[in-house]
Structure 1
Amino acid sequence: MIIKQLSDNEIRVIIFKALSDEVRLNIVTMLYKKQAEMSCGEIGDNLDLNKSTASYHFKTLREAGLTTTRKHGQNKYVSLNVDVFNEILPGFLDTLA
């Protein structure tokens, strides 16, 4: 999905759907508090998620534009896309601290 081709309201719907799940909200909170990228395995371990469940949630957040994923060797690293939060939901991240 190419988010730039969508209307502002369509983008908001995708973002709100992604954030409406407690696990995904916990992932966002964890990344925000860490203020750095984290490996998918580290996040999954901290939230007691199996690989397939964690992968599903990472994909949902990535497709909503809320996170980015970087692959390095066998590992994948996830970080928040703070610009999207600041543009669409200004101040939201500060409520997670």
Structure 2
Amino acid sequence: MRPLAHPSIDELTLAGLLHALSDPVRLDIVLCLSAASCEMNCISSAKELQGLSKSTLSHHFRILREAGLVRSERRGVELLNRLRLDEIERRFPGVVGAILAVRRAECRAEPRRDAVA
């Protein structure tokens, strides 16, 4: 298995972070990871993200990893992901936190999808 590439914190760009967070699925993945008390894999994330396929989630995690938002680690057959929020906060103070705060507010304002009309 080839090693996973992670950009150093100095290689991160604001445009790259914003691009990665521009997709609602990736934004929700980051939101789930920020609320999680531990690392998450694609399967545990799928429960939170409306049953998206593992291949779709893997694609989104790859984009997040390449943008520098998550650090992924292989453990056996699993690929565990965690946010690099502390590192990103030092490089771009307040940016990701502000985006996540807005998304949390949007989620609270959205009607539940499983509610019967």
Which structure's CA Rg is the greater one? 2
Q: Greater strand percent: which structure?
A: 1
Matched residues, number: 94
TM-score (norm 1): 0.80
The Cα of 1:13 is off from its aligned counterpart by: 1.0
Residue number in structure 1 paired with 2:53: 50
Runs of at least 5 residues in structure 2 that lack an aligned partner in the other structure = 105-117
In structure 2, distance between residues paired with 1:75 and 1:2: 17
Q: Greater helix percent: which structure?
A: 1
Residue number in structure 2 paired with 1:79: 82
Q: C-alpha root-mean-square deviation of aligned residues, in Å?
A: 2.3
In structure 1, distance between residues paired with 2:35 and 2:69: 15
In structure 1, distance between residues paired with 2:62 and 2:15: 16
Q: Deviations over 1:37-84 (max 9, x none)?
A: 112210023211101110110000000000011111111111001134
Which runs of 4 or more aligned residues in structure 1 lie more than 6 Å from their structure 2 counterparts after TM superposition? none
1:59 aligns with 2:57: no
The percent of aligned pairs where both chains have the same amino acid is 34
In structure 2, distance between residues paired with 1:49 and 1:23: 9
SS at match of 1:37: coil
Residue 35 of structure 1: which of 34, 37, 40 is its match?
37
